[in-house]
Amino acid sequence: MQFDQLALPEPLRKGIVEAEFTECTPIQELTLPLTLKGKDVAGQGQTGTGKTAAFLITLFNRLLTNTTVTGNHARALILAPTRELVVQIEHDARLLGMHCGFSIQAVYGGVDYARQREGLRQGADIIIATPGRLIDYLKQKVFSLSAVEMLVIDEADRMFDMGFIADLRFILRRLPPFDKRQNLLFSATLNHRVMELAYEFMNVPEKISVSGERITADAIEQVLYHVSRREKFPLLLGLLRRDSMTRTIIFTNTKREGEHLHARMNANGFPCRLISGDVAQEKRLRIMKAFKEGSLPILIATDVASRGLHIEGVTHVINYDLPEDREDYVHRIGRTARAGAKGKAISFADEIGALSLEDIEEYIRYKIPVEWPEEELFVSDFKRAAKPKHTTKPGKGTRAPRKRNRPVSR
């Protein structure tokens, strides 16, 4: 189905054309005929299949066609679990809605507290937010959700994983009744907990899934290497030297492992940066901007970056550590082969990671193809880098050393 087959308002149609969207993806083709008629939908699809555009087109269509609006309150609310995802949705919303004339306010922690507060106070048509910062402003009575006519919850399963469900319910109970607004829920996975939330806060939602037989995208070439922990870095260097990896994301399970890998990569001539949960937001945005623009070829990340980020042209994803959560495997490798492109996902299964492998393969419903690397692929002449030192402050899991009284000299 082509976008020009949809009966959309001219300002929205213009934004779609300028964003160079022509043909609907499967999830857009299934959901848009329903959502454009005002139907509530809980949509599931592989990551990178166009869920964001599906709900943004519906949102702009609803706001443009409803002209009986009074007051200066927010008309639409989009909730997402991470700051990176909020920033990405805001970018896409400004692109698709560039001719629609609506004010958009992103709300997330780490930056611009006063500016975000003022933007809400003045009145924004569309709010895109993480739950925590939004609740902060709600409790201050900076703005009201009483006029919201469109609700979108993105990556709802991640809301559960990150412990946001109580915050989510706090916000949803301050909206108009579910039958007085349109509600959309999109996620890469829809489990029992998510559907329970959908039936509680949505108006008889229709469940749409385009996962089919495979949970992961067909365009992703996957390969698994069984290696010892000591062999992972030599093999990684060998693969980077052999293959053309123009834009690569390497995932580690912990910040400490990421910091060590970051130091070793830079010491061996592979410039890279690291993002993790405690990297300052402004710094994280600068790193992501450099990676998207291509000046930074390699990004090392913990799972903070595994969901919701649409980065054009990611050629490779490398699971330096296999994830402990099987669903995170799907989200990680979904950073490549987005929007119809092809990509490659490489995973290392060491002594610890191999314990997660059976659960991952059970979840994706097939065996990840295994390759056995040639001996010459392992690099032996690499430079070593010291592991980052982590000190624990007194009161943070350790006891401060007890002071001893020195004997007084007489």
The string of pLDDT tens digits covering residues 279-291 is 787 888 889 889 9
pLDDT digits (tens, 9 = 90+) for 181-216: 999 998 777 788 888 888 889 999 999 987 554 566
| Residue 394, pLDDT score | 42
User: CA-to-CA distance for 398 and 385, rounded, in angstroms?
Assistant: 28
Evaluate whether 317 touches 338 at the Cβ level (below 8 Å).
Answer: no
* CB proximity list for 152: less than 8 A, separation 6 or greater: 55, 59, 76, 77, 78, 79, 183, 184, 185, 186
Mean pLDDT estimate for the chain: 87
What three-state secondary structure class fits 3?
A: helix
Domains, the chain, ranges and CATH?
3-209 (3.40.50.300), 220-377 (3.40.50.300)
Q: How confident is the model at residue 67 (pLDDT cuts 50, 70, 90)?
A: confident
Residue type, 360: I
SS3 content of the chain, % helix, strand, coil (to 5): 40, 15, 45
* The two three-digit tokens of residue 198, written as one number: 């959908």
Q: What is the pTM of this model?
A: 0.74
